Copies of this chain bind each other. A is one copy, B any other.
């Protein structure tokens, strides 16, 4: 149904169009979208027209398009991501108030850590993550929490590499990583100095729902900060979020 001559479904083509939009590229012409999505120009123009008609894209005065509010609404209205994020947000605000550094919520998505929320303190230090951005599982503190509790098959696939270094101190040795993940399961916390950026230490803890780890909560500390207060704040926030999720399900 609705397949193109090249065999990809219309859904896949729509995804390819939407994928061309990023935080740094939120406005594009139909020609640019076509080039970046690898679609013939006439196809790209027709698809943009159709997506604008449906409200998934919106056109501005100079005929460039951006992602539509309607897409945002459809993606969020019934989403489990929003349920998790709403449960976590009040507790993340408490972490941010106490620790005064970036506070983040991530889930496992396609072998990466996908960030659902990030609260930033005006005085906080460096931080590479963005909402709806991703980081490798083996490098980010959130990713290490998710990887430690991931299904064994996924964990082995990630450990089999390639394991890219984001910074000089990213752990990329599979044997060391395996030991680190065992520690994470035992201690219930990740402390990852210099793993994403040399100037900062990621600290992360798991959030469980119905016994399963479903997310990681993290803060990014300046490299020289002792992690104790952050660990305590994150654990309290995780427990609060888990209690809200439990109450939600009743």
Distance in Å: Cβ of A81 to nearest Cβ of chain B = 5
Interface size on A, residues (CB 8 A): 58
Q: Are A46 and B1 in contact (CB under 8 A)?
A: yes
Q: Indicate if A54 sits at the interface (CB-CB under 8 A).
A: yes
Q: Is A220 an interface residue (CB 8 A)?
A: no
A-B contact pairs, 7 of them (CB 8 A): A1-B50, A9-B50, A10-B50, A19-B74, A21-B78, A74-B75, A90-B120
Residues of B within 8 A of A133 (CB): 77
For A75, list chain B residues within 8 Å (CB).
18, 67, 71-72, 74-76
Residues on B with C-beta less than 8 A from A77 are: 21-23, 132-133
Of the candidates B15, B51, B79, which one forms a contact with A74 in the assembled complex, judged by CB atoms under 8 Å apart? Answer: B15
Which residues does A use to contact B, with CB under 8 Å? 1-2, 4, 9-12, 14-15, 18-19, 21-23, 25-26, 43, 46-47, 50-51, 53-56, 66-67, 69-83, 86, 89-90, 93, 107, 109-110, 114, 116, 119-120, 122, 131-134
**Across-interface contacts of A12 in B (CB, < 8 A):** 50, 53-54
Top 10 nearest A-B pairs (CB, nearest first) are: A21-B78, A75-B75, A76-B132, A10-B10, A77-B132, A2-B2, A18-B74, A26-B78, A2-B10, A11-B50
Residues of B within 8 A of A79 (CB): 21, 26, 66-67, 71-72
Give, as a whole number of angstroms, the nearest-CB distance from A66 to chain B.
6
Name the residue of chain B whose CB is nearest to the CB of A115.
B73
- A70, B110: Cβ atoms under 8 Å? yes
Are B114 and A73 within 8 A (Cβ)? Answer: yes
* Chain B residues positioned under 8 Å from A71 (CB to CB): 74-75, 79
Query: A121: nearest residue on chain B (CB-CB)?
Result: B90
Q: Is the pair B132, A72 in contact by a Cβ cutoff of 8 Å?
A: yes
Chain B residue, CB-CB nearest to A20: B78
Q: Which listed residue, B15, B66, B73, B86, touches A78 by the CB 8 Å rule?
A: B66
Q: A26-B79, A69-B107 are in contact. Are A89 and B18 (CB under 8 A)?
A: no
A45 to B51, CA, bound (A): 23
Tell whether, in the assembled complex, residue A43 and residue B82 are in contact, meaning their CB atoms are under 8 Å apart. no
Question: Contacts A10-B10, A50-B9: A109 and B23 contacting too (C-beta < 8 A)?
Answer: no
